Amino acid sequence: MLTDDDFGSLAGLPVRWVGVLTTGDTLEVLTDGYSIEDGHYVFSLLFKGKPNFEMTTLLMPAGLDSDQPWQSLPVRELMPTDDGFGSLAMPPEHWFVDLTTGDTLEVLMHGHSIEGERHVFSLLFKGKPNFEVAVLSIPSSLVKDIRKQPLKEYLGIVWIGEAPELRFTLLARDPMEARTLAKAKYGEHPMRVWNEEERRQIR
């Protein structure tokens, strides 16, 4: 899901959704939409790219939701900025949240905190000043462990001016982080970055 554009430009204004779990607890999610795939709710953000693509922000077992409908609330009223909503301050990290139910949530975030009896996962957007947007809030009693996605080896090629192509390897947790690390080291030059296992899965 790599694009030539800078990462973080949302294609549209996401909506804050509030859902009720079978445990009686509540989830709050920022999303452009959600679907049910293989017994899981998949919540997605849509980013600008060539072409537009979806970024999964939360994967939740469908069995955890109750019969109560999801309620949507407009985000614009909650998070106004002078720059306009949607510009991430930096690429988020991919974390896994193990629940006491034995299920696992996948979350894209810049950081998490414990507020009262809830774990709050947030993204940092550009603003005046920078500010946090909670993308997921879950009861701390449901959280068993929080862990990062493991590091993987990425291969890359970069073309700098008239010099021959330069091949490199680096360790990262996902394609976004790999590309960010490569740009930080080699600058804004044409490049390709990939992981062999991920490329085989795509095929």
What's the pTM value of the predicted model, to 2 decimals?
A: 0.56
User: Is 91 found in the same domain as 33?
Assistant: yes
pLDDT tens string for the chain (203 positions)?
233 344 456 666 777 777 778 877 778 787 777 777 777 778 877 776 555 566 777 777 777 777 776 776 654 433 333 344 456 777 777 788 888 888 888 888 888 888 888 888 888 776 656 667 777 888 888 888 888 777 888 999 999 888 888 999 988 877 877 888 888 888 888 889 998 887 776 65
* Domain assignment of residue 4, yes or no: no
* Dist. CA 91–CA 12, nearest whole Å: 18
Q: Which residues contact 48 (CB under 8 A, 6 or more apart)?
A: 3, 5, 9, 10, 11
* Domain assignment of residue 9, yes or no: no
Q: What is the pLDDT of residues 68-101, one digit of tens each?
A: 767 766 544 333 333 444 567 777 777 888 888 8
User: Is 101 found in the same domain as 21?
Assistant: yes
Bridge partners for 35 per DSSP: 42
What range does the domain containing 136 cover?
A: 15-148
User: Is 140 found in the same domain as 157?
Assistant: no
User: Is 82 found in the same domain as 53?
Assistant: yes
User: Is 165 found in the same domain as 139?
Assistant: no
Q: Give the per-residue pLDDT at 66.
A: 76
Phi, psi of 175 (to 5 degrees): -60, -35
User: Is 61 found in the same domain as 31?
Assistant: yes
Structural domains in the chain (count): 2
* Dist. CA 203–CA 197, nearest whole Å: 10
* Dist. CA 125–CA 85, nearest whole Å: 8
How would you class 155 by CB atoms within 10 Å of its CB: exposed for 0-12, middle for 13-18, buried for 19 or more?
middle
Edge to edge, the sheet with strand 191-194 lists 166-172, 152-158, 191-194
